[in-house]
Amino acid sequence: MGLRIVDTLVSLIMIPIAGAILLGISSFFLNPSVFILPSFFALALPYLLLFHAFITLYWLVRWSRKLWYALLILLLAGWEMPALWAFNGPGEGEASARVITYNVHASYGPSEDLTTQFATQRKLLEREPHLLCFQEFSSALATPILSREFPNYVHRGQLSVYSKWPIISSDYHKFSKAYNYGGNAYLWVDVESPKGTVRIFNFHLASIQLGSSEYLFPSSWIHLSSTDSLELRGRSYFPLLSKGFRFRAQQQKELLSAIQESPYPVLLCGDLNDVPGSHSYWQFAQVYPDAFRQAGWGSGRTFHSPLFPLRIDYVFNGTPWLPLRAEVLNLQGSDHDPLLVHFALGDAIEN
Protein backbone atom coordinates (compact mmCIF):
# COMPACT_ATOMS: atom_id res chain seq x y z
CA MET A 1 0.00 0.00 0.00
CA GLY A 2 2.82 2.39 0.93
CA LEU A 3 4.66 1.88 -2.39
CA ARG A 4 1.46 2.45 -4.33
CA ILE A 5 1.07 5.84 -2.67
CA VAL A 6 4.67 6.69 -3.55
CA ASP A 7 4.08 5.52 -7.13
CA THR A 8 1.06 7.80 -7.38
CA LEU A 9 2.97 10.78 -6.00
CA VAL A 10 5.91 10.21 -8.37
CA SER A 11 3.49 9.90 -11.31
CA LEU A 12 1.81 13.17 -10.36
CA ILE A 13 5.20 14.88 -10.14
CA MET A 14 6.45 13.39 -13.42
CA ILE A 15 3.61 14.79 -15.52
CA PRO A 16 4.32 18.53 -14.97
CA ILE A 17 8.09 17.94 -15.04
CA ALA A 18 7.80 16.17 -18.40
CA GLY A 19 5.56 18.94 -19.70
CA ALA A 20 8.04 21.59 -18.58
CA ILE A 21 10.91 19.76 -20.31
CA LEU A 22 8.96 19.50 -23.56
CA LEU A 23 8.13 23.20 -23.38
CA GLY A 24 11.80 24.01 -22.69
CA ILE A 25 13.14 22.09 -25.68
CA SER A 26 10.44 23.59 -27.91
CA SER A 27 12.17 26.97 -27.52
CA PHE A 28 14.46 25.77 -30.33
CA PHE A 29 11.53 26.17 -32.74
CA LEU A 30 9.48 28.91 -31.08
CA ASN A 31 10.58 32.51 -31.33
CA PRO A 32 9.84 34.30 -28.02
CA SER A 33 8.44 37.20 -30.01
CA VAL A 34 5.66 34.81 -31.05
CA PHE A 35 5.28 32.56 -27.97
CA ILE A 36 7.38 33.39 -24.93
CA LEU A 37 6.51 30.64 -22.42
CA PRO A 38 9.06 28.03 -23.65
CA SER A 39 11.90 30.54 -23.08
CA PHE A 40 11.22 30.51 -19.34
CA PHE A 41 11.37 26.72 -19.17
CA ALA A 42 14.56 26.66 -21.27
CA LEU A 43 16.27 28.55 -18.43
CA ALA A 44 15.52 25.71 -16.02
CA LEU A 45 16.24 22.78 -18.36
CA PRO A 46 19.38 21.50 -16.56
CA TYR A 47 17.47 21.21 -13.28
CA LEU A 48 14.33 19.82 -14.89
CA LEU A 49 16.35 17.13 -16.65
CA LEU A 50 18.26 16.26 -13.47
CA PHE A 51 15.01 15.93 -11.52
CA HIS A 52 13.51 13.83 -14.30
CA ALA A 53 16.59 11.57 -14.27
CA PHE A 54 15.88 10.74 -10.61
CA ILE A 55 12.27 9.99 -11.52
CA THR A 56 13.50 7.70 -14.31
CA LEU A 57 15.81 5.93 -11.87
CA TYR A 58 12.88 5.41 -9.50
CA TRP A 59 10.81 3.73 -12.23
CA LEU A 60 13.81 1.61 -13.16
CA VAL A 61 14.11 0.34 -9.60
CA ARG A 62 10.35 -0.28 -9.53
CA TRP A 63 10.59 -1.85 -13.01
CA SER A 64 7.38 -0.13 -13.96
CA ARG A 65 6.06 0.37 -17.48
CA LYS A 66 6.18 4.08 -16.68
CA LEU A 67 9.93 3.75 -17.12
CA TRP A 68 9.37 3.79 -20.88
CA TYR A 69 7.46 7.09 -20.70
CA ALA A 70 10.28 8.58 -18.61
CA LEU A 71 12.92 7.30 -21.06
CA LEU A 72 10.97 8.74 -23.98
CA ILE A 73 11.19 12.22 -22.43
CA LEU A 74 14.95 11.81 -21.96
CA LEU A 75 15.26 10.62 -25.55
CA LEU A 76 13.37 13.65 -26.86
CA ALA A 77 15.58 15.95 -24.81
CA GLY A 78 18.76 14.02 -25.59
CA TRP A 79 19.89 16.25 -28.45
CA GLU A 80 19.90 19.21 -26.01
CA MET A 81 22.08 17.56 -23.38
CA PRO A 82 25.54 18.11 -24.96
CA ALA A 83 24.77 21.83 -25.09
CA LEU A 84 23.81 21.84 -21.41
CA TRP A 85 26.72 19.70 -20.24
CA ALA A 86 29.74 18.99 -22.43
CA PHE A 87 31.66 15.72 -22.21
CA ASN A 88 34.93 16.21 -24.08
CA GLY A 89 38.51 15.34 -23.30
CA PRO A 90 41.44 17.44 -24.54
CA GLY A 91 41.77 17.31 -28.33
CA GLU A 92 44.86 15.89 -29.95
CA GLY A 93 47.45 18.23 -31.40
CA GLU A 94 49.03 21.50 -30.40
CA ALA A 95 47.00 24.69 -30.26
CA SER A 96 48.18 27.29 -32.75
CA ALA A 97 45.52 29.89 -31.90
CA ARG A 98 43.97 30.86 -28.59
CA VAL A 99 40.86 33.02 -28.37
CA ILE A 100 39.40 34.61 -25.23
CA THR A 101 36.00 36.26 -24.90
CA TYR A 102 35.31 38.17 -21.69
CA ASN A 103 32.61 40.52 -20.43
CA VAL A 104 34.64 42.69 -18.05
CA HIS A 105 31.54 44.43 -16.64
CA ALA A 106 33.25 47.81 -16.89
CA SER A 107 32.21 50.58 -14.50
CA TYR A 108 30.09 48.21 -12.46
CA GLY A 109 30.73 46.29 -9.27
CA PRO A 110 34.21 44.81 -8.77
CA SER A 111 35.56 46.17 -12.05
CA GLU A 112 35.60 49.66 -10.52
CA ASP A 113 38.79 48.47 -8.83
CA LEU A 114 41.24 49.05 -11.68
CA THR A 115 44.05 47.34 -9.77
CA THR A 116 42.02 44.14 -9.89
CA GLN A 117 41.32 44.66 -13.58
CA PHE A 118 45.00 45.18 -14.41
CA ALA A 119 45.92 42.03 -12.46
CA THR A 120 43.24 40.16 -14.40
CA GLN A 121 44.68 41.41 -17.69
CA ARG A 122 48.09 40.06 -16.74
CA LYS A 123 46.57 36.68 -15.94
CA LEU A 124 44.83 36.65 -19.31
CA LEU A 125 48.12 37.38 -21.05
CA GLU A 126 49.73 34.45 -19.24
CA ARG A 127 47.49 32.24 -21.41
CA GLU A 128 49.19 33.69 -24.51
CA PRO A 129 46.00 34.46 -26.47
CA HIS A 130 46.10 35.51 -30.11
CA LEU A 131 42.69 37.21 -29.95
CA LEU A 132 40.94 38.97 -27.08
CA CYS A 133 37.28 40.00 -27.37
CA PHE A 134 36.00 42.24 -24.57
CA GLN A 135 32.43 43.31 -23.85
CA GLU A 136 31.39 46.17 -21.53
CA PHE A 137 34.90 47.49 -21.99
CA SER A 138 35.78 51.06 -20.97
CA SER A 139 38.61 53.30 -22.15
CA ALA A 140 40.10 53.15 -18.63
CA LEU A 141 40.87 49.47 -19.25
CA ALA A 142 42.74 50.13 -22.54
CA THR A 143 46.08 49.85 -20.77
CA PRO A 144 49.70 49.71 -21.98
CA ILE A 145 49.64 46.13 -20.67
CA LEU A 146 47.36 45.22 -23.55
CA SER A 147 48.75 47.51 -26.28
CA ARG A 148 52.31 46.23 -25.71
CA GLU A 149 51.20 42.65 -26.34
CA PHE A 150 48.61 43.42 -29.00
CA PRO A 151 49.74 46.05 -31.52
CA ASN A 152 46.48 45.59 -33.42
CA TYR A 153 43.23 46.53 -31.72
CA VAL A 154 39.87 48.21 -32.26
CA HIS A 155 37.80 49.81 -29.50
CA ARG A 156 34.28 51.02 -30.31
CA GLY A 157 31.48 51.71 -27.86
CA GLN A 158 31.79 49.07 -25.13
CA LEU A 159 33.38 46.45 -27.39
CA SER A 160 37.06 45.80 -28.07
CA VAL A 161 39.06 43.31 -30.09
CA TYR A 162 42.82 42.88 -29.53
CA SER A 163 44.74 40.82 -32.07
CA LYS A 164 48.27 39.47 -32.47
CA TRP A 165 47.54 39.35 -36.20
CA PRO A 166 47.07 42.36 -38.50
CA ILE A 167 43.62 43.94 -38.60
CA ILE A 168 42.76 45.04 -42.13
CA SER A 169 39.25 46.47 -41.61
CA SER A 170 36.49 46.84 -39.02
CA ASP A 171 32.99 48.17 -38.45
CA TYR A 172 30.69 48.76 -35.49
CA HIS A 173 26.89 48.62 -35.29
CA LYS A 174 24.44 49.34 -32.52
CA PHE A 175 21.26 47.33 -32.58
CA SER A 176 18.05 49.16 -33.39
CA LYS A 177 16.77 51.45 -30.63
CA ALA A 178 13.45 49.61 -30.78
CA TYR A 179 15.06 46.61 -29.05
CA ASN A 180 18.16 47.97 -27.35
CA TYR A 181 18.89 48.92 -23.75
CA GLY A 182 21.50 51.34 -25.06
CA GLY A 183 24.81 49.48 -25.06
CA ASN A 184 23.89 46.40 -27.09
CA ALA A 185 25.96 46.22 -30.27
CA TYR A 186 28.37 44.19 -32.35
CA LEU A 187 31.84 44.92 -33.69
CA TRP A 188 33.47 43.02 -36.53
CA VAL A 189 37.14 43.05 -37.47
CA ASP A 190 38.89 41.31 -40.35
CA VAL A 191 42.16 39.76 -39.18
CA GLU A 192 44.89 38.28 -41.32
CA SER A 193 45.50 34.94 -39.62
CA PRO A 194 48.36 32.62 -40.70
CA LYS A 195 45.78 30.64 -42.68
CA GLY A 196 43.94 33.53 -44.32
CA THR A 197 41.49 36.29 -43.47
CA VAL A 198 38.86 35.68 -40.79
CA ARG A 199 36.09 38.04 -39.73
CA ILE A 200 35.75 38.21 -35.95
CA PHE A 201 32.35 39.25 -34.62
CA ASN A 202 32.35 40.54 -31.04
CA PHE A 203 28.80 41.00 -29.72
CA HIS A 204 26.84 41.89 -26.62
CA LEU A 205 23.13 41.07 -26.63
CA ALA A 206 20.43 42.32 -24.25
CA SER A 207 20.44 41.24 -20.62
CA ILE A 208 17.46 41.30 -18.27
CA GLN A 209 18.83 44.35 -16.44
CA LEU A 210 19.35 42.68 -13.07
CA GLY A 211 22.37 42.70 -10.82
CA SER A 212 24.40 39.49 -10.61
CA SER A 213 23.19 38.76 -7.08
CA GLU A 214 19.61 38.94 -8.28
CA TYR A 215 19.94 37.16 -11.61
CA LEU A 216 17.00 34.79 -12.01
CA PHE A 217 16.85 33.81 -8.35
CA PRO A 218 17.56 36.81 -6.12
CA SER A 219 19.28 35.92 -2.88
CA SER A 220 17.17 38.55 -1.16
CA TRP A 221 14.07 36.46 -1.83
CA ILE A 222 14.98 34.11 1.01
CA HIS A 223 14.27 36.95 3.44
CA LEU A 224 10.73 37.50 2.22
CA SER A 225 8.22 37.07 4.98
CA SER A 226 4.96 37.12 3.05
CA THR A 227 3.51 35.58 -0.07
CA ASP A 228 2.34 39.04 -1.08
CA SER A 229 5.94 40.27 -1.28
CA LEU A 230 6.97 37.20 -3.28
CA GLU A 231 4.08 37.71 -5.69
CA LEU A 232 5.01 41.39 -6.08
CA ARG A 233 8.62 40.54 -6.90
CA GLY A 234 7.49 37.85 -9.33
CA ARG A 235 5.36 40.38 -11.16
CA SER A 236 8.35 42.76 -11.45
CA TYR A 237 10.80 40.12 -12.73
CA PHE A 238 8.51 38.52 -15.29
CA PRO A 239 8.35 41.65 -17.53
CA LEU A 240 12.16 42.03 -17.38
CA LEU A 241 12.71 38.43 -18.44
CA SER A 242 10.08 38.71 -21.17
CA LYS A 243 11.56 41.93 -22.53
CA GLY A 244 15.05 40.42 -22.57
CA PHE A 245 13.88 37.34 -24.47
CA ARG A 246 12.14 39.46 -27.10
CA PHE A 247 15.02 41.92 -27.45
CA ARG A 248 17.54 39.11 -27.98
CA ALA A 249 15.31 37.45 -30.57
CA GLN A 250 15.40 40.63 -32.65
CA GLN A 251 19.09 41.32 -32.03
CA GLN A 252 20.23 37.82 -33.01
CA LYS A 253 18.24 38.13 -36.25
CA GLU A 254 20.01 41.40 -37.06
CA LEU A 255 23.40 39.98 -36.13
CA LEU A 256 22.93 36.79 -38.15
CA SER A 257 22.02 38.87 -41.18
CA ALA A 258 25.33 40.75 -40.88
CA ILE A 259 27.26 37.52 -40.33
CA GLN A 260 25.82 35.93 -43.47
CA GLU A 261 27.09 38.89 -45.53
CA SER A 262 30.69 38.25 -44.50
CA PRO A 263 33.02 37.48 -47.43
CA TYR A 264 35.28 35.54 -45.04
CA PRO A 265 34.90 32.66 -42.60
CA VAL A 266 33.65 33.95 -39.26
CA LEU A 267 34.39 33.49 -35.58
CA LEU A 268 31.66 34.72 -33.23
CA CYS A 269 32.66 35.75 -29.72
CA GLY A 270 30.57 37.43 -27.09
CA ASP A 271 27.95 37.69 -24.42
CA LEU A 272 24.70 36.19 -25.69
CA ASN A 273 22.99 36.71 -22.31
CA ASP A 274 21.05 33.52 -22.93
CA VAL A 275 21.53 29.89 -21.97
CA PRO A 276 22.13 26.76 -24.06
CA GLY A 277 18.72 25.47 -25.07
CA SER A 278 17.32 28.95 -25.63
CA HIS A 279 15.94 30.09 -28.96
CA SER A 280 18.73 32.66 -29.43
CA TYR A 281 21.43 30.08 -28.71
CA TRP A 282 20.13 27.61 -31.27
CA GLN A 283 19.85 30.24 -34.00
CA PHE A 284 23.65 30.50 -33.81
CA ALA A 285 24.60 26.95 -32.84
CA GLN A 286 22.70 25.21 -35.63
CA VAL A 287 24.85 27.10 -38.19
CA TYR A 288 28.08 27.84 -36.31
CA PRO A 289 29.24 25.11 -33.90
CA ASP A 290 29.54 26.01 -30.23
CA ALA A 291 33.24 25.62 -29.37
CA PHE A 292 32.57 24.73 -25.74
CA ARG A 293 30.10 22.04 -26.76
CA GLN A 294 32.77 20.61 -29.08
CA ALA A 295 35.80 20.86 -26.80
CA GLY A 296 34.71 21.72 -23.25
CA TRP A 297 33.84 19.79 -20.12
CA GLY A 298 31.02 20.38 -17.66
CA SER A 299 28.39 23.09 -17.50
CA GLY A 300 30.79 25.82 -18.65
CA ARG A 301 29.29 28.39 -16.30
CA THR A 302 30.49 31.87 -17.22
CA PHE A 303 28.11 34.01 -15.15
CA HIS A 304 28.21 34.28 -11.35
CA SER A 305 24.65 33.39 -10.39
CA PRO A 306 23.83 32.35 -6.81
CA LEU A 307 21.98 29.15 -7.76
CA PHE A 308 21.92 28.65 -11.51
CA PRO A 309 25.06 27.58 -13.45
CA LEU A 310 24.57 29.99 -16.32
CA ARG A 311 26.60 29.65 -19.50
CA ILE A 312 25.86 32.84 -21.42
CA ASP A 313 29.25 33.65 -23.04
CA TYR A 314 30.21 31.81 -26.22
CA VAL A 315 32.59 31.25 -29.08
CA PHE A 316 30.79 30.00 -32.20
CA ASN A 317 33.08 28.73 -34.93
CA GLY A 318 32.48 29.30 -38.63
CA THR A 319 36.11 28.74 -39.66
CA PRO A 320 38.15 25.64 -40.63
CA TRP A 321 39.85 25.96 -37.25
CA LEU A 322 39.52 22.89 -35.03
CA PRO A 323 38.70 23.53 -31.34
CA LEU A 324 40.99 21.37 -29.21
CA ARG A 325 40.02 22.54 -25.74
CA ALA A 326 37.62 25.06 -24.24
CA GLU A 327 37.85 26.20 -20.65
CA VAL A 328 36.33 28.80 -18.36
CA LEU A 329 38.93 30.78 -16.42
CA ASN A 330 38.15 31.58 -12.80
CA LEU A 331 39.25 35.21 -12.46
CA GLN A 332 38.22 38.17 -10.32
CA GLY A 333 37.15 41.53 -11.66
CA SER A 334 33.75 40.87 -13.22
CA ASP A 335 30.46 39.06 -12.71
CA HIS A 336 31.49 36.97 -15.76
CA ASP A 337 34.37 34.56 -16.23
CA PRO A 338 36.43 34.53 -19.44
CA LEU A 339 36.03 31.70 -21.94
CA LEU A 340 39.27 30.48 -23.53
CA VAL A 341 39.24 28.29 -26.64
CA HIS A 342 42.37 26.59 -28.00
CA PHE A 343 42.29 26.03 -31.76
CA ALA A 344 44.37 24.14 -34.27
CA LEU A 345 44.36 26.25 -37.42
CA GLY A 346 42.82 24.45 -40.37
CA ASP A 347 43.82 24.43 -44.00
CA ALA A 348 44.38 27.70 -45.79
CA ILE A 349 41.21 29.78 -46.08
CA GLU A 350 40.06 30.74 -49.53
CA ASN A 351 39.43 34.51 -49.54
What pLDDT is recorded for position 257?
95
Residue 20 belongs to a domain: yes
Quick one: which of 319, 329, 323 has its CA closest to 288?
Answer: 319
Are residues 201 and 329 part of one domain?
Answer: yes
Q: Tell me: the pLDDT tens digits for 214-265?
A: 444 444 444 444 444 444 444 456 777 888 889 999 999 999 999 999 999 9
Look up the CATH number of the domain holding residue 311. 3.60.10.10
Residue 209 belongs to a domain: yes
Among 34, 58, 84, the domain-final residue is 84
Q: Tell me: the pLDDT tens digits for 132-186?
A: 999 999 887 878 888 889 999 999 999 999 999 999 999 999 999 888 887 899 9
Residue 349 belongs to a domain: no
Q: Are 179 and 247 contacting, i.e. CB atoms less than 8 angstroms apart? A: yes
Among 23, 52, 84, the domain-final residue is 84
Q: Tell me: the pLDDT tens digits for 303-320?
A: 876 656 689 999 999 999
Confidence of residue 78 (pLDDT cuts 50, 70, 90): confident
Q: Average pLDDT for residues 204-211, to the nearest whole number?
A: 75
Confidence of residue 323 (pLDDT cuts 50, 70, 90): very high
Give Cα separations from 270 to 75, 176, 185, 235 (angstroms): 31, 18, 10, 30
What pLDDT is recorded for position 153?
95
Q: Tell me: the pLDDT tens digits for 14-30?
A: 999 999 999 999 988 88
Are residues 294 and 206 part of one domain?
Answer: yes
Are residues 106 and 225 part of one domain?
Answer: yes
3-state secondary structure of 164: coil
Query: What is the total count of domains within the chain?
Result: 2
Range of the domain at 19: 2-84
Are residues 339 and 286 part of one domain?
Answer: yes
The model's pTM is 0.86
